[in-house]
Homo-oligomer: A and B are copies of this chain.
Amino acid sequence: MSYKPADEINENGTGFIKNVAIDTVIFGFHDNLLKVLLSAYKNTNYFALPGGFIREMENLYDAARRVASERTGLDDIYLEQFYVFGDYSRYEPEPFKVIMEVNGNKPSKSHWLLQRFISIGYYALVDFTKATPTPAAIFDSCNWYDLKNMPELIQDHSKIITKALEALRANLDHKVVGYNLLPESFTMGELQKLHETILAKKLLRPAFQRKMLSLCILERVAKKYSGGAHKAPYLYRFVSEV
């Protein structure tokens, strides 16, 4: 989880469920690179996944959406619950203690943020260009990092990202990926590049096109007369399911 001083700073975390956090792995896509949104704590070397907590009367999924929306400015994004991280060894209050102290707070040992947390992992896929990374509060910054070039993260957050990527890859076959990662309309080549980036391997163009079209989730919009010296590709969009 990440530290949100705005309203969670009070000693006993009134209004939130204790010992449970949501951690979001928000993937973005740019220049054929998968990016991930990370929060950095000011005045420390601590980097963490954007996280948050569940309000006492809030649906779990709504809480995940709220967290993702707060950090990206995007509503209506594809969110998937992928795993719960609940090892006791996750309990490492030291970083949070330091973060609070560095920022002028002196939490008691029983401060709710210094207790053990079970963390529910959600991943999201967003359009890199439409998202406006927003830090959770004055203490945070929030930025995109290449998946291949991340800073060291607190706790088990690296493992969480690995697990999220595994879940995302496993879902590429069944579920449609790209609703929020790609612009409204896109070429088959762009969709393929996205899949190639997520899977970290090259795909064969004819087979990919054949498969995508066989799923009946794409519809042709127009031709894209904009690019280079070659045949104009078709633009597609996801068919709206009604």
Contacts and interface: CB of A to CB of B under 8 A. Distances in A.
Interface residues on A, range: 20 to 34
Given A18-B19, A19-B18, A20-B20, A87 B59 contact: yes
Interface stretch (A40-48, A78-86, A135-143): A78-86
A83 B81 contact: yes
A54 interface: yes
With most chain B CB atoms within 10 A of its CB, the pick from A17, A18, A85, A89 is A17
Contacts of A63: 86
A120 interface: yes
Nearest to A122: B84
Contacts of A17: 19, 116, 118
Nearest to A55: B88
B18 A58 contact: no
A207 interface: no
Contact of A18 (B18, B86, B120): B18
A54 B81 CA distance: 21
A54 B120 CA distance: 15
Interface of A: 17-20, 54, 56-61, 63, 81, 83-89, 116, 118, 120
